[in-house]
Structure 1
Amino acid sequence: MTGFVKYMEESGGRGPYFGWRVIFALALLGAVLIGVAISAFVMFAVPLSAEFGWSESETGALVSAMWLTGPLALVLGPAVTRLGAWRMVFFGMAVQIATLFAMPWVTTYEQMAAARVVMGIGMVAMVPAGPVIVAQWFRRRFSTAMAIVWSSSAFGQIFIGPLTVWLYEHYGWRNAAALLGLLVGLSLAVAIAVVRGGRSPESLAIDVAAIEGAAPDAGQSADRPATAAMDRPSLLHINWTAAVPMSLAALCAGLATIALQAEAPIFLDALGLTQAHAALLLSLFAATALAGVILSGWMCDRYPPVVTSLVVSLAFFAGIAALWLAVKGHSAAAATLGMGLLGYGLGGGEILWVTLFKRQFGSAVFGATYGLFYCCFQLGMAAGGPVGGLAFERWGASGFVAALAIAYAVPTIFGAWRPGRMAETHLGKPA
């Protein structure tokens, strides 16, 4: 009863706070976007290889081709405020739908590679817009709301992967692609209906400050006047003394994340574990990563960033220690503990860094700084596979674990300390 009254108060007597409808819409779109763009296409590798005779490396390159568009976030991120965040979301989803409907007519490798790049453009158009929309509706609970949206991609991959297999086994991969296009279109229609009329809090006369607290910007945006940043939101208005190490930290975090996942089957095989056991540990990693996202988002809203950073780093390096023991003793129990802890640390680190890029530089330039984060994180993910493979080939299982530890030392240092003052103070502390 108390919770219901609180919800009514938050929305002026009109029901639950409209911002949660926005979060539902963004989570739904994020789930289908990432599920189709990643899991569905990974599953398409089998029928594509069978029909066209493409090798594993060629289909793997198709999966990775989408991430080549990551640097576009540096341009599209700052453009969010000028073009409109919801316009970019709808454009990105429309690109995904059009590409899926076009896939049945693909007959060459070059055409499929081009389709993947186009899907990447659509994804990069949408991804920077989502956090900006969340920031419009949430201040005190920004990280929690962002964690819900961020974690939706995991649910999308869990459900859309098996759905894709079922569709192409029954209808062929070409019809499956078109049916997935219909699914994305239906999801977009549902999202539009859910947020209809609520393009921004101002459009519904909702006082976000009364619900979520006053804007936490500390009057300046990364050592520059906030008004200038608001008039011309771009990376020119941030403190690059902080931005350079933070960008490097985001890159290293992405690298460690993909290096571990890409080499996990080979690494676990070297420990003497069966493929079935390895698959189980990868599922554990995904589950604890999801838990890390949610819990870190909750912590970021309640405690200073350094607290969340220390918890994330402790989980990661405890996981590294467990894997080291597993390498030395070929212990399945230690490997299980290590993968679980690493999942929590790496998953929690993602939402932590989204929050840090917002608080360090302020809401006024968040579209631009999130684009910077996303670009660096994706570049790290692109490099993670080759770097992880090289480390394992040259130095074996022990060297691979050491390489992960070295890579994550950078996010650990700059997660706890960054040069220059933060543009936003923690809402739970005095300004």
Structure 2
Amino acid sequence: MPHTTDTPSPPRPAGARRRRVTVHRAWVTALVAGLTIVAAAAFAAVPGLLMEPLHDEYGWSRGSIGLAASVNMLLYGLVAPFAAALTDRFGLRRVAVAALAVVVAGAGLTTLMTASWQLTLYWGFLVGAGTGSLSMTFAATVAHHWFTRRRGLVVGALTGASAFGQLVFLPALAWIVDQQGWRPAVVTLALTATVTALLVALVLRDHPADLGLRPYGATEDVPRPAPERGAATRALRVLYASARDRRFWVVAATFAVCGASTNGLLWTHFVPAARDQGMAVTTAAALVSAVGVFSLAGTVLSGWLTDRVDPRLLLALYYGGRGLLLVSLPALLGPEAGVAIVAFVVVFGLLDVATVPPTILLCRRVFGADGAVVFGWVGAAHQAGAGAMAVFGGLVRDLTGGYGAVWLVAAALCALAAPLALRIARPEEGDRAQKGDRPEEGDRAA
């Protein structure tokens, strides 16, 4: 045989060399945080599905069931600023696992209740406190710790995950309630929260410095902040300081209207209102779920816009559009899901959670390093508005037999919130310097 020698292969051209694709751990953290928010948000879809089954089984008034939903929403908001402070003290992972454990306990006890006050205690207090710890302040903290660039986009995606959670679970829960009863639906949510708690414990980390990393987009190392002791004291101290600033009350008032016109109204009363008009429960739940689809898209888009457009202008447009939609809703509801109601769902979904990214950015710009805790208190106003509307809607339905007046009241509130948003004063540079916060790269066009 002729002698042969192996010759080395010619080197690859520089442009043809394989490049190792790496994903920054910040995106993994954001994904796990998003799944956590999805699991917590699924519980927000339940009161609208349970109202009629609980009324039929126990004979409880819709007002008393609405009270439990109202307490849930109020606790969801009131817990948020304390949860933000607790996160600064104990870290994202510990707070998330503890919150999910409380949610599981509340949901499990709900399946054993025999009196309406127990619904208020288990679903209102326990589930409300647990899910409130995994609310928009949780999203804001993840974005602030793990991202320097793309913060607006990340906040938009994570807050959109809340609507996505309802999108994923609502049709399935509606089918379970319709076919198997309300208890199996609640057990399904409790099991989901349990699995999510295990995932958080295994994967979620509090800060990039824990892994020797920099936040996404950072050009230098960022040390992990020292634990903040006295979480409750700090939350109250921040409230006392921010409450003396007129801008806090303007932001809180507009966000209260946001809660009243979404969580308190559409997410709680749309399904029973549609049922009153002869629409099947599963169809109405599918429409609310579709709102969640477009909420996700609208919130991500809003996060992108918030990095580029005056957030006050965005809020004015969002509230004005939402008010126009609610005025038209009584004429659109009927036994069938026609083109008009589908169009309503699409546009309302785009505006549903779109208010969150500009509101978070305004809190950060105006109140600096305390922005996450301030947003927690602003979120409490959001949930106070939601809770008030949940009770108001149930009472109006009990007294008048319909929801027509409720839609119009919510539309009028949105009409007031639109010009109010434009009155949020711009923060002076001196405010930022005094509060220890500078404009971040992620707050500008990226």
Q: TM-score, normalised by structure 1?
A: 0.74
Does 95-104 or 67-76 show the bigger shift? 67-76
One of 337, 351, 355 as aligned partner of 1:349: 355
- The CA deviation at 1:368 is 1.6
What's 1:412 paired with?
421
Does 55-64 or 24-33 show the bigger shift? 55-64
- The CA deviation at 1:141 is 1.0
Letter in 1 for 2:381: C
Task: Call closer, same or farther: CA 1:405–1:109 in 2, change over 3 Å.
Answer: closer
Q: Does 1:251 align with 2:256?
A: yes
What's 1:208 paired with?
215
One of 133, 148, 161 as aligned partner of 2:142: 133
Q: Does 1:29 align with 2:36?
A: yes
- How far does the alpha carbon of each residue in 1:314-333 deviate from its partner, in whole angstroms, 9 at most, with x for none? 35535655776899999x98
Task: Call closer, same or farther: CA 1:138–1:91 in 2, change over 3 Å.
Answer: same
- How far does the alpha carbon of each residue in 1:195-230 deviate from its partner, in whole angstroms, 9 at most, with x for none? 3xx331111110227x345799xxxxxxxxxxxxxx
One of 366, 374, 378 as aligned partner of 1:360: 366
What's 2:317 paired with?
314
What's 2:167 paired with?
158
Give me the CA root mean square deviation.
4.4
Residue pair 2:164, 2:293 contacting (<8 A) in 1 also: no
Does 246-255 or 396-405 show the bigger shift? 396-405
What's 2:153 paired with?
144
Give the Cα–Cα distance (whole angstroms) in 2 for the partners of residues 326 and 157 of structure 1. Answer: 21
Task: Call closer, same or farther: CA 1:386–1:185 in 2, change over 3 Å.
Answer: closer
State how 1:155-304 maps to structure 2 within 5 Å: 155-167=164-176, 173-174=182-183, 176-195=185-204, 198-208=205-215, 211-212=217-218, 234-235=237-238, 238=242, 240-258=245-263, 261=266, 275=279, 285-301=291-307, 303-304=308-309
Give the Cα–Cα distance (whole angstroms) in 1 for the partners of residues 47 and 343 of structure 2. Answer: 31
What's 2:107 paired with?
100
In terms of Rg, which structure is larger?
A: 2
Task: Call closer, same or farther: CA 1:79–1:403 in 2, change over 3 Å.
Answer: same
Letter in 2 for 1:408: A
- The CA deviation at 1:299 is 2.0
Give the Cα–Cα distance (whole angstroms) in 2 for the partners of residues 375 and 369 of structure 1. Answer: 10
Task: Call closer, same or farther: CA 1:173–1:145 in 2, change over 3 Å.
Answer: same
Secondary structure in 1 matching 2:200: helix
Larger % of helix: which?
1
Give the Cα–Cα distance (whole angstroms) in 2 for the partners of residues 169 and 327 of structure 1. Answer: 25
What's 2:384 paired with?
379
Give the Cα–Cα distance (whole angstroms) in 2 for the partners of residues 401 and 112 of structure 1. Answer: 26
Secondary structure in 2 matching 1:126: coil
Secondary structure in 2 matching 1:199: coil
Task: Call closer, same or farther: CA 1:24–1:7 in 2, change over 3 Å.
Answer: farther
Secondary structure in 1 matching 2:355: helix
Give the Cα–Cα distance (whole angstroms) in 2 for the partners of residues 38 and 298 of structure 1. Answer: 26
- The CA deviation at 1:418 is 3.7
What's 2:10 paired with?
none
One of 129, 150, 156 as aligned partner of 1:121: 129
State how 1:415-426 maps to structure 2 within 5 Å: 417-418=425-426, 420-421=428-429, 423=432, 424-425=438-439
Residue pair 2:66, 2:391 contacting (<8 A) in 1 also: no
Task: Call closer, same or farther: CA 1:279–1:215 in 2, change over 3 Å.
Answer: same
Task: Call closer, same or farther: CA 1:32–1:75 in 2, change over 3 Å.
Answer: closer
Extract unaligned runs of 5+ from structure 2.
1-14, 223-232, 433-437
Give the Cα–Cα distance (whole angstroms) in 2 for the partners of residues 119 and 325 of structure 1. Answer: 33
- How far does the alpha carbon of each residue in 1:17-76 deviate from its partner, in whole angstroms, 9 at most, with x for none? 1111111111111111121x2223443445434443323333333333312313233444
Residue pair 2:72, 2:128 contacting (<8 A) in 1 also: yes
Secondary structure in 2 matching 1:348: coil
One of 8, 16, 36 as aligned partner of 2:23: 16
Give the Cα–Cα distance (whole angstroms) in 2 for the partners of residues 172 and 42 of structure 1. Answer: 14
Letter in 1 for 2:134: M
Residue pair 1:77, 1:370 contacting (<8 A) in 2 also: no
What's 1:38 paired with?
44
Give the Cα–Cα distance (whole angstroms) in 2 for the partners of residues 106 and 269 of structure 1. Answer: 26
One of 83, 88, 109 as aligned partner of 2:95: 88
Does 364-373 or 341-350 show the bigger shift? 341-350
What's 1:64 paired with?
70
Task: Call closer, same or farther: CA 1:275–1:313 in 2, change over 3 Å.
Answer: farther
Query: How many residue pairs get matched?
Result: 396
Give the Cα–Cα distance (whole angstroms) in 1 for the partners of residues 171 and 221 of structure 2. Answer: 43
